[in-house]
Amino acid sequence: MKPRRPLLFFLLPYGGVLLVFFAVASFNRAFIQERAESLVKEQLSASAEILKAGVRDLLEKNVPPQGILRGYAGAEEIYFMAVLDERLEILDWSSRFEGYLPFSRKDLPREEAWIIDSPAGRIYSVFKPLRTAEGKSYSLYLGISLRGLEDMLARSRRNQGFLFGILALAGLALFGGVFRLHRQSLARAEEAVVEREEKERLREISGFTAGIAHEIKNPLNSLALLNELMAKKAAPELAEHLALARDEIRKIAGIIDAFSSASKPLTLRRQSVRLAELVQGVRSSLLADAERKNVEILVDGKGDVQVEADRDLLTQALFNVVRNAVEATDRGWIRIRISRKRKGGVIQVEDTGRGIPDELAARLFEPFVSSKPQGLGVGLYLARKILTAHEGTIAAAPRPGGGAVMTLEIPGGPS
Amino acid sequence: MKKLAAGVGGAIVAALLGGPPPVSAVGQQAGFYDVDREVKIEGPVQDVRLEPRFENTQPFVVVKVEDKATGRTYTVEIAPAWFFDQDIHRGERLAVVGSLVSKAEASPVVMAREVQCRGETIRVRDRKGFPNWRGGAMRQGKRKRGPIT
């Protein structure tokens, strides 16, 4: 699946589901709102009837209309009320808001209740004519707050918005995660393909070099024997030339050995290895070369770090790394530092040499890659191969101030 | 839903029939804003006072204005002093739109909706008489420049 496809496959359907949810929730809320309003209005109408009966009762008991509402003015929900005579003149009135009685004779009489929008919220208004036993006609005008209903509806709207927001966020988080996982698996698949191709290429190279090595080794052995024979029988003035030939034959043999080592699969023989001893061994081997260049090899760090590893292979890996450092350093020093990391060990090789050329930085551990004109590009490749076989890592980084730092991490100390 | 409706209705019924005695409601010594009796007056201020107008509320700014068109002097109830923060002086010209709440020949009373003073129009009530100091101003804006409507 292409990276864009998940948008189509996940986000669009999810957006559709959200829309449907929103539409259904909105319709449902509108229905509930309508029903609630209807019920509230019925209740308010009934309350108005009770109030009307009370006022009529008072009027029939000859309580004067002026001041008749004083006893009814305490209800929080009643915003205003008024008693009118048959000519629609106000006889008594009260209001929660100073002087507010939204009343116009042009609109009256009205049989149906109506809603007034006011800054204090919607007001259920009703005009109720009433007639006393004596036959006198009055009207009761009432305004009752719908704030309770409005609060409930506002809460319902808020809840719906909140739920919708939560769903949208949860969905986005979920599909974001799915999308990321998908991209990661795609990247891993691509890496696996590249790795497989690389392995295939290396396998071919290994087969090829192994074949060449085998084909060269036999005649090279013969050549070495012949050279020795000639050295025994030749005139003394040829001895120097024959020694040079012997050295060159050995060099060719060394190259063939290096190629063979690089292409052979590794078999580990793990044992407990004290890193300090291993480092000292490598230092001793390269000390003469370093001193010739006036380069100091320093060792510091923990002396008691031990790992379970193949001693010979690990020695070879570290030897290759330190030899590289010696070759790259014309003056100054090389510092080998040992430390512990969780159960494993870390060896850092820091030098003050020429550093890593930018163009090689990414391919430093690939086979046959070298910055030296006469280098084979096998040493660091082999070091990485050994570290990988130990499930460890090797990394290179430039050293601030010049030079390079190689870090070898070897996991799994002795239990 | 039914619960809510029953709650709303029930509270009213309880208050009307058997509930606690009502608290003191807004009194009737002042009139209500009768939208059918809107008038417009304009003229010099003759007197400025602070007078109580409704129960349990702060005193109102009350001015007497001589209408230049009719020559009659009106008592104009504007708004509570804390809300109406204009400094009005005697002799200053004032234009008022409001409701005629008392037609008493001696001193008719007008409940102001809009007051224009020094070119500034101050709305103290909405068109149905809802007082802006009780929340109406939040929605409608208290002041503007230009003629009163």
For residue range B82-102, list pLDDT tens digits in order: 888 888 999 999 999 999 987
In this structure, are residues A19 and A32 in contact, taking their beta carbons and an 8 Å threshold? no
By 3-state DSSP, what share of chain A in percent is helix, strand and coil, each rounded to 5? 55, 20, 25
Taking each continuous run of H as one helix and of E as one strand, the counts in chain A are 8, 12
Residue at B114 is within a domain: yes
User: What pLDDT, on a 0 to 100 scale, did the predictor assign at position A296?
Assistant: 93
Q: Does residue A262 contact residue A381 with C-beta atoms inside 8 Å?
A: yes
- Spell out where A8-136 has E strands: 78-85, 90-95, 114-118, 121-131
- pLDDT given at position B12: 46
Q: Please tell me the distance in Å from B127's CA to the nearest CA on chain A.
A: 9
The vertex-A228 CA angle with A222 and A231, nearest 5°, equals 140
Q: What is the pLDDT of residues A264-286, one digit of tens each?
A: 777 888 999 999 999 999 999 99
In a domain, B133, yes or no: yes
How many Å apart are CA B128 and CA A80, to the nearest integer? 13
Q: What is the pLDDT of residue B105?
A: 65
Q: How far apart are CA A45 and CA A126, in angstroms?
A: 8
Q: What is the distance between the terminal CA atoms of chain A, rounded to a whole angstrom?
A: 45
Instruction: Check residue B148 and give left, alpha or beta (phi > 0: left; psi -120 to 50: alpha).
Output: beta
pTM over 0.90: no
Cα–Cα dist B149/B132, whole Å: 16
Is position B41 within any domain? yes
B49 and B72 in contact (C-beta within 8 Å)? no
| Residue B139 reports pLDDT greater than 70 | no
B8 to A77: CB separation less than 8 angstroms, yes or no = yes
8 Å CB contact of A99 and B111: yes
pLDDT band at B136 (very low <50, low <70, confident <90, very high): low
Tens digits of residue pLDDT in B69-82: 999 999 999 999 88
Whether residue B81 is contained in a domain is answered as: yes
Helices A147-233, A239-263: axis angle to 10 degrees equals: 150
Rounded distance between C-alpha atoms, residue B22 and residue B55, angstroms: 14
In a domain, B57, yes or no: yes
State residue A414's pLDDT score: 54
CB-CB under 8 Å, A40 with B8: yes
Identify the pLDDT of residue A364. 82
Residue B44 lies in a domain: yes
- Please tell me the total count of domains within chain B: 1
Specify the CATH number for the domain of residue B25. 2.40.50.140
Q: State yes or no: cis peptide before A65, omega within 30 of 0.
A: no
Surface-to-core class of residue B27, CB atoms within 10 Å of its CB (0-12 exposed, 13-18 middle, 19+ buried) = middle
Structural domain span for residue B118 = 21-145
What pLDDT shows up at residue A3?
Answer: 52
- CB A75 to CB B33 under 8 A? no
Say what the pLDDT of residue B146 is. Answer: 58
Q: Give me the residues of chain A with pLDDT under 70, please.
A: 1-7, 73-75, 262-263, 373-375, 413-415
The closest alpha carbon to A72, from A96, A45, A41, A38, belongs to A96
A74 vs B23, B34, B101: nearest CB: B23
Nearest CA in chain B to A31: B1
pLDDT of residue A408: 95
Q: Supply A204's token pair.
A: 């071919």
State the helix-helix crossing angle for A147-233 and B2-16, rounded to 10 degrees. 140
- The answer as to whether B9 is a domain residue is no
What is the least distance, in Å, from the CA of B113 to any CA of chain A? Answer: 11
Would residue B26 count as lying in a domain? yes
Please compute the mean of the pLDDT values over residues B3-29 and round it to a whole number. Answer: 42
